[in-house]
Amino acid sequence: MRRLLHIADRHRTASTTHLLGLLLAFNAGAINAGGLLVVHMYTSHMSGFASQVADSLVLGNVRLLLGALGALLAFTAGAASTALIVNWARLHRLRSAYALPLLLEALLLLPFGLMGAITLTWDTPFAVPLTVLLLSFIMGLQNAVGTKVSAGRLRTTHMTGNLTDLGIELGKLLYWNRNGTPPQAQVRSNRARMAMHGGLLGMFIAGGLFGAAGFKYVGFLWVVPLAALLLALSLPTVRHDLRRSLYLRGQLGALWGRVRRGGKPVPPSV
């Protein structure tokens, strides 16, 4: 439990950042592969949706255009939500700045797993079912977490950047430094970066195998273990803040009070 507390903690080390990135890459690979089986598209690949915007404009296919725009907007909204949550948590000195977006992701995955077949029939203004927008939002939410915790070094929902950086380091490793080249001018590979990007790629593929097999043989309920993983990562840090942050407890108490009153405002005191 103590180890889990530090994985999604705001106060980080290089090792906890790397471990969080590996777990999130596994989660993204599973959701992405499952999304392909369910909605027949990869919901984390925004490059493909951006290209689809151009293609649909040339072809005059309004339905494709709307679907691509919906996925792009949902992914962007997810990333923006993470930024709002993280900066709000930092303002109030919460340790759960990165755990809260992961908790939200888990809470969105649970209803998807329990009633995903229903959301496939829910139409949206973007000519794609709600499932596509939900999965794209989740991927944007998660990718922004990886970006924020690593200052832009980790991308967990797509592998283009990781493959590029891995290829660069492999090129450095294979580069032949001529005899007599001064040490400061020699080309050296960064083996730690190679291990990080290779590990992210491997975990994304492993997650894809896990997700594809689960969605094929079990169905939507297979996202429940993925939601459980995110809950295990986020809840210890959130619980820590609930115990120690008077502000957070006060906000949750006020929210619960509004829910019990049916959203009616508190009457002013006299």
Distance CA 105, CA 135 (A): 10
For the chain, the domains span: 2-156+204-260
Which of 66-70, 81-85, 259-263 is the least confident region? 259-263
> pLDDT-based confidence at 87, cuts 50/70/90?
very high
Nearest to 31 by CA among 115, 109, 85: 109
Nearest to 208 by CA among 15, 43, 20: 43
Distances (CA, A) of 158 to 43, 81, 145: 10, 19, 13
Look up residue 101 and give its two tokens. 């977006």
What average pLDDT is seen over the chain? 83
What was the pLDDT predicted at 270? 39
* pLDDT for residue 85 is more than 70: yes
Which of 42-51, 65-74, 133-142 is the least confident region? 42-51
> pLDDT-based confidence at 31, cuts 50/70/90?
confident
Is residue 16 helix, strand or coil? Answer: helix
Task: Enter the pTM of the model.
Answer: 0.82
What was the pLDDT predicted at 188? 87
Q: CB 164: neighbour CB atoms within 10 A? A: 11
Distances (CA, A) of 164 to 45, 115, 144, 231, 248: 16, 38, 19, 31, 41
> pLDDT-based confidence at 269, cuts 50/70/90?
very low
Distance CA 191, CA 222 (A): 35
> pLDDT-based confidence at 104, cuts 50/70/90?
very high
> pLDDT-based confidence at 205, cuts 50/70/90?
very high
- Tracing tokens 């169905």 back to the chain, one arrives at 219
